[in-house]
Structure 1
């Protein structure tokens, strides 16, 4: 058997190129990548080295007429501003302000909070994941820019007083005002930057943690921190870095906007926003175009911090509980609606279509159109310059000849069609769940057709007849013995042995492998138990350790299963094993001493421990069985019911599933599609069946809630809040405000409604014959 030294000597010239050097080489081979790196190096280098790079003091003023807003010259490359200050120096220092702010916010909130909470939520799951994601949902609804605006405006005098006191009474001196402003806006921004990044990280962790190499690492007994850092984090970083860069650009806009309004960093600190404000905005650039030659900042990214968010309709069980009945349109009926109070009669034909859609064909009477044309003329005429007439005084026939009747008609329809549509759906009590599809049939007279997605219709089957017997759960001896063995292993003694490795030994080894010269696995000094019933990274790899002694080495060729990443799947891996230590695990006896080792205050005898283990196993099995039973009963109700819904709701449900799994960052989503080699349509199709299942369950549960008259009281919501706060310890009070907010209370209410409805359905389905007769 080759020793480690011999193998190293034999393969010294054949080692594959290290991944980091290969990545760097590939990166530098792309011209666009090199250009981007150079731009970033120049910009960030100038920002970081501003005191040494800037040609002048950015706040030094020249009080002469000639010096104010001077053009570019040998002395001032970018010219000067209205106070005679050197613009190049101010641009460099403004870049420094932007870089410091974005780095402080994104590193603090994005790296520590975003990455940390995302890893924790994705890997731990359960109530940890639920608490982090619900907190993220609450924070995502807060308009960060306006919150910072309000705080800076409301507490400006107090912060100025604090800055003045620090300036006069501490070593900070003149640095106190800019430092206070910087800390305040950074501190407000940090709690919000992590939300989107944590979702991205969580979605990647959820995708990675079920892969075989992670399961194998868990089976090897690798600690959770090592597992997250060495095995999961590398797969998360590419997508995470894309989201991180987008966040930096977005928060650069936040700093720019606050400074432009005079509420950002201290006025003595140069920033792009305050420079634009002081220069007079766009009008200054029109008068002094040379100022546009200043280099771009990170805030010139195409990303924007302003986001438009909307709560999707009917994508969980609470979305179908409004109690409103869908519009019952009369098919093919044509009549004059009484809409005179809105401006004139309108002829409407309603027709109910499949998939919960209503089609309205609307014809506007000529008098109504004429009034709309006249209103359009009055809006249009002030914008026109017509020879021989004062602005806004040209008569309509002249305007119509000049711009054309088609333009005037178009202007009228832009206001008339939405108004008439709103009047029609209000009169007929049609409740749209999405924007309508519009088709203009004629313009004179105005006749158009709209197809409106409306609320789903759910006709429940005879759910009172559902009978599904719950499957009993039982803690078997095998389950109990397995749990007790895990407890004994927690308190086992481990000692080195001088023999070949056997099952259940604890091994320390280096495991390195390649597939087609690409690194497949690279674990150094990994310690793991050698279990006969657990897979170790690859099938048959665990068997290769049997009989090996400490300080021995071997290389084996093993096939890679098809469930590995495409780069490695169905290929052969060359695995080099260097066994460093073999230790024997000696389990303690299953007696009273073991029980007291576990918890001396709770367990006096081994019987006490046995009872606790059996009870815990029983509770776990029962909880899992209840969840599976409830889903089975709901699916039975779905099968009995007739559900009709607009396609847009299914599309929204798909969007919601993708957003939950992969976050809402578009660039990160596109990067993920490229990574897995799928188009958007192909990727969405993967979520169609799960989305339909969740939507149909949601709709029937919502209808059952209404039919059964199930509701939740404020006391029940309060009790649930206290239950959720109990495990949070010191953070409980800070979380209470969020849980008790309108949005938090609504979320808790909907969750309780779901639980109550499921409990009622379970009660019906599991009713015994004696109970039925009693009813």
Structure 2
């Protein structure tokens, strides 16, 4: 049926005088003007009628049997015209673009000027133009991987603190102590006319941390003022810009009774400490060596990621890109949709959380304006990578693709079968292939930018890459052995 209507449309376009004109715009857009008279809209109205009539209940006629003239009398011609727009606009626009030899890069923005007879304009985004410039001369120095004695000592102190037992202490508590207390906190909800609990626990364990905002800013600072065995009341004025809108600007009331305070007494950093870490080390020097190796492995990943990011940034800075604002708008819609999905699903990254704090209380227009630079950067980055991939003819072979799938399956452990099954679908393989091609392109750009002897100790000007922690023995070393 779809092919029938497309063929009919092609014959109809050829047989009728559809007024089509176009003009190029400097922002990589074409303005397409289309005008149809009443007789030319007729086939679409008939099609709309046939789609609508089975859904209509009209007195005196069986469902779906009312003649078109009766439908138009009851609902009006505009009712059918509005329904016809859903398929008329994309189909006529597609054919008009073909007539004008215009290749669109994304869905056009359509402005309806008149409904009957139909007249509209379509702003069509054209394929972006990307000039990478002299990318072969791109040079980005790479940092040397360095681990200081201070970094090793910091890890040793952390390990010493983490394996230390909690010991009871007298006097006032401090940040990072383990407090056992009764605590009740609430705010008065004027809208509902009653108190709303923030926290209400008996003999609960809490660790006050400096700068913590849980459950409200300043709560931890009040906890370290508590005296053992004394019921203490305190109020906290919650800032009006606090991220929890239900508490922002209100006065939080608390009653707390401290029962006990425990504190970690760090163990001595010596051979005995080393023997009790992870699976055990022969002495402190062997533990230090393992820490140094793990820190170097982590730092190597970070250095590589920063170098790749800086190479991409410099390639972006040297490229000339012409792209339609409509394409940016489409990416902006996608970017904000991703943010909303992350909020609703609870899968928020640090970036999402920072965006949430920044956008709280702002209008949709303000949010779109603030998010636009991020969407524009994503578009430009994708365009530059695709242009580089095309120029360098970067591809992923079937063997490379299957090898990556097998690697992912092995890393999935008990779920390896599900991973292999997922990639039996052609769409999933195509998606993974695109990711691998882009990854190979980034690696090639970084390699191109790296010259012999270019490793330096200075940090790059821009280092925005998100790095992933490697699996290393430092994390294992911080686990207690049950002592």
TM-score by length of 2: 0.66
Moved more, 422-431 or 729-738: 422-431
- CA positional deviation for 1:760: 1.8
- CA positional deviation for 1:714: 1.6
Cα pair distance change 1:477/1:440, threshold 3 Å: same
Higher relative contact order (CA 8 A, sep 6+): 2
**SS of match in other structure, 1:734:** helix
Partner of 1:650: 328
Cα pair distance change 1:721/1:584, threshold 3 Å: same
Say whether residues 1:718 and 2:396 are aligned partners. no
Does the Cα contact within 8 Å between 2:110 and 2:120 map onto a contact in 1?
Answer: no
Identify unmatched segments of 5+ residues in structure 1: 1-338, 384-405
Cα pair distance change 1:536/1:377, threshold 3 Å: closer
Say whether residues 1:465 and 2:143 are aligned partners. no
User: Counterparts in 2 of 1:219-618, with a 5 A limit?
Assistant: 342-343=14-15, 349-360=21-32, 421-426=93-98, 428=101, 430-435=103-108, 437=110, 450-502=122-174, 505-515=177-187, 519-529=197-207, 535=212, 537=214, 542=220, 544-545=222-223, 549-561=227-239, 562-569=241-248, 573-600=252-279, 603-618=281-296
Identify unmatched segments of 5+ residues in structure 2: 1-10, 54-76, 189-194, 347-355, 456-483
Tell me, in whole angstroms, the C-alpha distance in 2 between the residues paired with 1:481 and 1:527.
Answer: 30
**SS of match in other structure, 2:282:** coil
**SS of match in other structure, 1:659:** helix
Partner of 2:314: 636
C-alpha distance after superposition, 1:331-372 (max 9, x if no partner) = xxxxxxxx99955898865432133212345689x9xx99x6
Cα pair distance change 1:653/1:770, threshold 3 Å: closer
Cα pair distance change 1:558/1:621, threshold 3 Å: farther
Tell me, in whole angstroms, the C-alpha distance in 1 between the residues paired with 2:342 and 2:223.
Answer: 45
Name the Cα RMSD after superposition. 4.7
Cα pair distance change 1:481/1:526, threshold 3 Å: farther
Tell me, in whole angstroms, the C-alpha distance in 1 between the residues paired with 2:124 and 2:392.
Answer: 30
Does the Cα contact within 8 Å between 1:560 and 1:569 map onto a contact in 2?
Answer: yes
Cα pair distance change 1:741/1:648, threshold 3 Å: same
Tell me, in whole angstroms, the C-alpha distance in 2 between the residues paired with 1:558 and 1:618.
Answer: 45
C-alpha distance after superposition, 1:556-601 (max 9, x if no partner) = 4455454443454466544433211122423333334433433337
Does the Cα contact within 8 Å between 2:141 and 2:454 map onto a contact in 1?
Answer: no
C-alpha distance after superposition, 1:496-538 (max 9, x if no partner) = 344443565432233443455654444544434566x664746
Does the Cα contact within 8 Å between 1:363 and 1:447 map onto a contact in 2?
Answer: yes
Partner of 1:221: none
Tell me, in whole angstroms, the C-alpha distance in 1 between the residues paired with 2:48 and 2:244.
Answer: 61
Partner of 1:623: 301
Cα pair distance change 1:682/1:539, threshold 3 Å: closer
Partner of 1:143: none
Cα pair distance change 1:379/1:693, threshold 3 Å: closer
- CA positional deviation for 1:741: 1.9
**SS of match in other structure, 2:257:** strand
Equivalent position to 1:702, from 386, 405, 423 = 386
- CA positional deviation for 1:733: 0.4
- CA positional deviation for 1:615: 2.4
Partner of 1:764: 448
Partner of 1:693: 377
Does the Cα contact within 8 Å between 1:551 and 1:578 map onto a contact in 2?
Answer: yes
Tell me, in whole angstroms, the C-alpha distance in 2 between the residues paired with 1:343 and 1:440.
Answer: 24
Does the Cα contact within 8 Å between 2:28 and 2:127 map onto a contact in 1?
Answer: yes
Does the Cα contact within 8 Å between 1:549 and 1:582 map onto a contact in 2?
Answer: no
Partner of 1:755: 439
Say whether residues 1:744 and 2:444 are aligned partners. no
C-alpha distance after superposition, 1:690-741 (max 9, x if no partner) = 2122122122122121122211112222222223223322122022211342
Cα pair distance change 1:476/1:542, threshold 3 Å: farther
TM-score by length of 1: 0.43
Tell me, in whole angstroms, the C-alpha distance in 2 between the residues paired with 1:569 and 1:416.
Answer: 50
Q: Report the number of matched residues.
A: 399
Does the Cα contact within 8 Å between 1:498 and 1:549 map onto a contact in 2?
Answer: no
Cα pair distance change 1:558/1:664, threshold 3 Å: closer
Structure having the larger proportion of residues in helix: 1
Structure having the larger proportion of residues in strand: 2
Cα pair distance change 1:626/1:378, threshold 3 Å: closer
